[in-house]
Amino acid sequence: MRLLGAVALAASTTACASSGVAPRPFPMPSAPAVVEHPAAPPERPPAPVPSAAPLAERIVRAALDLQGAPYRNGGSDPDGFDCSGFTQYVFAQVGLRLPRDTREQFDAGDPVDPDEVQPGDLIFYRTTSRHVSHVGIALGNGRFVHAPSARGVVRIESMALPYWTRRFAGIRRMAD
């Protein structure tokens, strides 16, 4: 019974599928000016964003439609996401393929100078080691949307929060 409890605790505190470790301390929704109106988890997968809109707009719209979806270690659908499952799912909604792993997503993209970040770019962080271990999607105005660790939901946060600025690893653009 104790082993089962330990396994459940370990599973509930992991961060991204690629890292297996929960970042500490991880910003929680109660922090001021962090969460922007999280929605209830979607009851069904959102419809793909119409292809007439510019690609970056479609990526952002697809990501924002998932606000409030729960975190689930190894999750890659609206029933629950981890960070790289979230980005992979969002990009698939607009017809783009991403690798599943955070490090592979980082390696797949083209580097972007932080002063040139655009909506739809992937923002990477080192939350658990010296390697990238967390990813989100840039929204513009210094904000990003991501699937944070256990007990979290897909939400918007400020890239300027000290937690994120200390852990910033880079920006990648997956499509022009």
Residue 70: pLDDT over 80: yes
Catalytic residue, chosen from 16, 37, 131, 146, is 146
Q: pTM score, two decimals?
A: 0.75
Active site residue 83: yes
Active site residue 134: yes
The DSSP symbol for 23 reads -
Between vectors from CA 153 to CA 115 and to CA 37, what angle results, nearest 5°? 75
Q: What percent of the chain has pLDDT over 90?
A: 65
| AA letter at 92 | A
DSSP strand pairing (76-77 vs 80-81): antiparallel
Given this model, what pLDDT does residue 113 score? 97
Given this model, what pLDDT does residue 62 score? 97
Domains of the chain as residue ranges with CATH: 2-173 (3.90.1720.10)
- Helix ranges (H only) for 25-150 are 55-64, 83-93, 102-108
Average pLDDT over residues 139-152: 92
Given this model, what pLDDT does residue 144 score? 98
Q: Give the span between the Cα atoms of 174 and 168, in whole angstroms.
A: 18
Given this model, what pLDDT does residue 86 score? 98
Active site residue 131: no
Catalytic residue, chosen from 16, 37, 131, 134, is 134
Catalytic residue, chosen from 16, 37, 83, 131, is 83
Sequence-separated contacts (24+) of 161-166 with Cβ below 8 Å: 161/27, 161/31, 161/34, 163/25, 163/26, 163/27, 164/27, 164/125
pLDDT in tens, 10-66: 333 334 644 444 433 444 444 333 444 444 445 555 555 555 579 999 999 999 999
Given this model, what pLDDT does residue 51 score? 56
